[in-house]
Each structure stands twice: as structure tokens, then as C-alpha cells.
Amino acid sequence: MHREIRGIFHHYFMPLRHDGVQISWVGRDLERDRQQLERQEKQIEAEIRKAGKANNVTAAKTLAKQLIRVRKQKEKSYSMSAQISGVGHRTTAIASTVAISGAMASTAKVMKTANKQMDMQKLQQARKKQIEFSTTMQFEQESMKMDMKEEMMNDAIDGLDDEEDEDESDNIMNQVLDEIGISIGQQIPNAHRSALPSTASKVNAEDDELMRRMTSLKNS
């Protein structure tokens, strides 16, 4: 009888072990992706410095935008790892409840041969646990749906942030140039503090300032 009971629990826990292994694989894949993104981030920063020394404004701005995308992707990777970890814990809890409930039902059949007069009160308690488990499963399903909808909303909001990438790319490029020792002759006009006559004049002022800084680096 004990061998049969052990076989029942083994039957229910094998799928749980398989799911745990798959989640672990996904976590390791995300970790490898983050390491690759970090290498790309350092490489792009080096290329921005190189473009700055070569007075290549267009390349520097393009690389700055690429750096923004890499950093955002790395942030999403960390967020996804946290979600996968949570799914792993949920899966473990749900599968454990399924295994226990299924094993209880099967164990009752095995023990029936040894005790035909099963206590009806215990059977009612087992039925109550099965009902509670069904409610828990429905709750988890609705919770997962809500998580998916929240992720879709976050993606939509991220799309709205693309309009700010232009200013952010300029800030990153200027920060990198400051780190390599380019002196600033005068402050670059700040669009958020003072309104300029037109967008074209703002761009020209920024480009002129950037050229002065690059010339200072070249002559130093």
C-alpha cells in the first residue's frame, strides 16, 4: 500500500518538476540577454566618444538614440525576470495544491481496500478542499489576465515616451562628451526653461555649441 501511495505522489509531482526546470531555463536565458545588452551599452558609449572626437555630430546623435533603446530593453529584461520569478512561485503553489488534491483522491481509493467504512465527515472535508482549490484556480487565472493587460498598457505608454528620445539622446551625448574633458564655452539653450523663436534656431544653436566643444577637444 505504501508503494502505491508513493507512486501516486510521484505521478502528480513530475509535471511540477518539469515546469520548474523550464522556468529556470527562461531565467538563465534572460540573464544571458542582459549580459549581452550590457556589453552593447559599453560599446555604444565608446563609439559615442569616438564620434565626438571626430566631430561627427550625426553619428553621435544616432548612437545616443541606440544607447537609449539598449537601456530600455535592459530595464524590460529585469522586469520580465521579476515576473517570471513570480510565475514560478505561483506555479509551484498551484501545482502543489493540485498534487495534494489529486493524491488525496487517489489515496482514498487505495485505502478503501483496508477500511471500507470511510468516515463521511472526512470525505466532506476533502470535497470542501476541492471546491476551495477550484476557486483558487479561477482567481489565479483572472490574476494572470490582469497582468497581461497591465503589460499591454505599459507597452502602449512606452510608445508615448518615444517623443522624448530626441532631448534625452542629446543629454546623453553631452554627458559623455563632458566625461572625456570637453570644456563648455557656454550653456546649451534649454528648451524647457526659455522659449526660442523657432525649432530650427534651437537646433542650430545646439549644433553650433556642440561643434565648439568638439573643436576644443580636437585642439586639446
Residues spanned by the domain of 16:
2-164
Number of structural domains (the chain) is 1
Q: Is residue 106 included in any domain, yes or no?
A: yes
Q: Is residue 85 included in any domain, yes or no?
A: yes
Q: What are the 10-residue block averages of pLDDT along the chain, 220 residues in total? A: 47 55 74 88 90 87 89 85 72 68 68 62 65 67 70 63 64 71 46 45 64 63
Q: Is residue 220 included in any domain, yes or no?
A: no
So what's the pLDDT on residue 188? 44
Q: What is the secondary structure of 142-197 as a DSSP string?
A: HHHHHHHHHHHHHHHHHHHGGGGHHHHHHHHHHHHHHHTTPPPSSPPP-TTTS--S
Residue 78: partners with Cβ closer than 8 Å, 6 or more residues away: 34
Q: Is residue 74 included in any domain, yes or no?
A: yes
So what's the pLDDT on residue 81? 77
So what's the pLDDT on residue 75? 86
Q: Is residue 61 included in any domain, yes or no?
A: yes
Q: Is residue 195 included in any domain, yes or no?
A: no
So what's the pLDDT on residue 43? 92
Q: Is residue 142 included in any domain, yes or no?
A: yes
Q: Is residue 204 included in any domain, yes or no?
A: no
Tell me whether residue 63 is exposed, middle or buried, using C-beta atoms within 10 angstroms of its C-beta: 0 to 12, 13 to 18, 19 or more. buried
